[in-house]
Structure 1
Amino acid sequence: MTDSRSSRWHIENPAQGMNKNLKLFQIFYNDETRQQLDPGFIALDNRANTRPDWAEYWPIRQVLLNNQFSDNDYIGFFSPRFYEKTGCNSEQVKDVVTNGGDEIFSFSPFFDHSALHLNPFEQGERYHPGLITSFESLSGELDIELNPREIVCDHTTTIFSNYFVASYEIWKRWLAMTEIIFRICEENITPLGQKMQACL
């Protein structure tokens, strides 16, 4: 979650009229989840599951680090239960992204969760106690000026998990920030790293 006023995330809407290349992946973990895939998405095989402690971040990270993308690419990573949770199929997703002029397209479900909580941090704290204090500890490392106890969000500014499609430019920034968190956890040599490692 980012503050929309931050210049760090502001992009002059180059998406309007752009010829977009859609790279929409759907992760599967075994034969059962493979059967749930939408054939309109690119199947992303995570059956090896070499780092289960990082959940879906691991296959997403591998794709972003080990493949070349262009500025015209719009990328998404969905779970095998995407249709079950959103009611959207691949054709609907492609239609929204192709015809839209935004840098990020949210397909996030659970409107009740965004309505019942002040923001995603408060919602996350309910299910993962300690999330807010962990973010507060991380915010300095990430150079984010945002108060998770006060910021007010609604369904237009809330995305749960990875229910979104974004331009490659956004994904590059996303990866740069998540790699800072990844490094802190993997090194596990600071009090913050040890605290974060305990949450995995």
Structure 2
Amino acid sequence: MEAQLERKLSQEPPRALNSPIRIFQIYFEGWQRELLDPAFYPLDNSRNSSELMEFNVFEQLQRNAATQGVELWGALSWRFAEKTGMQGAELVKQIVDHPGYDVYFCNPHPNNEAIYHNMWVQGEVSHPQFLELVRLFYAAAGLDDKELTAIEPSSNFSAANYFVASQKFWSLFIPFVKRVLVTADKRLDPKIRDLIHSKVADDKALHAGATYIPFIVERLFMVFMRSEGKGLKAYKVALPERERELNVHLKLLREMKDVAHKTQSAWLAACWVNYRNLYLSQTNGKAWCEKYLRAITPIEVKFGS
């Protein structure tokens, strides 16, 4: 973490519209610092090699004087603008314009909201054996695995740990995640535990050799919001640039799934799956569909809360 961070912050007001919001931006290489957003505080994470990745930064910041006395804080990737199409000042404006929430989050990949039942199912096409391992993780952690295949509305999709949240949120969320991880590690079969902590998760070499753990952690956000965080208020930040990238089919698929969830219509959910499968066969090709389509299509129609 950047040296003398507390002293630097005490000498200058919060950059983001002079509001009681403190957003850090994590970087690892010197050249990345040149790409950081001026609305955020640069946070040198080059010496941090924790398996937990961003979550480890959250833990450190929560204990650091740099986050004390502010209403909201968060730590975002140096690729925030690239992933979201949004500048820091725009993010802060959305937060300021919608006061009173405990956590502000977003989903830089809205196409997933149209295609997948939920983010756990989405993980199946990104990380080998993901759902199989997550089911074992859930069982060991004492979580209800029914939600792993439930249809979730687009409002429940979150990715990349892009959170700006209140002290109350962090005081509940961080212990929740730590407790889930420790409980699972204690109860998992050693071979399965070793696999979950292995770099097999990043077989496409897209995530700097990450294990399954950070991909599980980022998906625990909604699990937390439905359980220990159910008394907290969440606001999903809109990403206009990413929305503009959605084609007409993705927009219709997302709307169709949302209506199916809202009305609890198994018939409409089945229609969505059929339309989705046809779309994927046209866009992703036969080989992809033969490899993944069955795995991402649960047999039973279930709706998340």
Corresponding residue for residue 43 of structure 2: 44
Deviation at 1:129, TM superposition (A): 2.4
Deviation at 1:108, TM superposition (A): 1.8
Amino acid corresponding to residue 110 of structure 1 in structure 2: H
Residue 111 (1) aligns with residue 110 (2): yes
Residue 78 (1) aligns with residue 49 (2): no
Corresponding residue for residue 28 of structure 2: 29
CA gap of 1:62–1:31, structure 2 versus 1, over 3 A, is: same
Deviation at 1:72, TM superposition (A): 5.7
CA gap of 1:121–1:166, structure 2 versus 1, over 3 A, is: same
Residue 174 (1) aligns with residue 173 (2): yes
Q: How many angstroms apart in 1 are the aligned matches of 2:58 and 2:167? A: 13
User: Gaps (5+ residues) in structure 1?
Assistant: 1-19
Q: How many angstroms apart in 2 are the aligned matches of 1:35 and 1:115? A: 35
Amino acid corresponding to residue 197 of structure 1 in structure 2: H
Corresponding residue for residue 98 of structure 1: 96
Corresponding residue for residue 156 of structure 2: 157
Identical pairs, percent: 22
The answer to whether the 8 Å contact 1:188/1:197 transfers is no
Corresponding residue for residue 193 of structure 1: 193
- CA deviations 1:45-71 (Å, max 9, x no partner) are 1111343x3333332322123447558
Deviation at 1:115, TM superposition (A): 1.2
User: Gaps (5+ residues) in structure 2?
Assistant: 1-18, 200-210, 212-305
Higher relative contact order structure (alpha carbons within 8 Å, sequence separation ≥ 6): 1
The answer to whether the 8 Å contact 1:188/1:194 transfers is no
Deviation at 1:103, TM superposition (A): 2.1
- CA deviations 1:139-160 (Å, max 9, x no partner) are 3565543524332223311101
CA gap of 1:132–1:35, structure 2 versus 1, over 3 A, is: same
Corresponding residue for residue 59 of structure 1: 57
Q: CA RMSD in A?
A: 2.9
- CA deviations 1:24-79 (Å, max 9, x no partner) are 1110001111111001101111111343x333333232212344755862122211
TM-score relative to the length of structure 1: 0.75
How many positions carry a matched residue from both structures?
Answer: 180
- CA deviations 1:141-199 (Å, max 9, x no partner) are 65543524332223311101212322222222221122235546888985353342225
The answer to whether the 8 Å contact 1:184/1:193 transfers is no
The answer to whether the 8 Å contact 1:23/1:76 transfers is yes
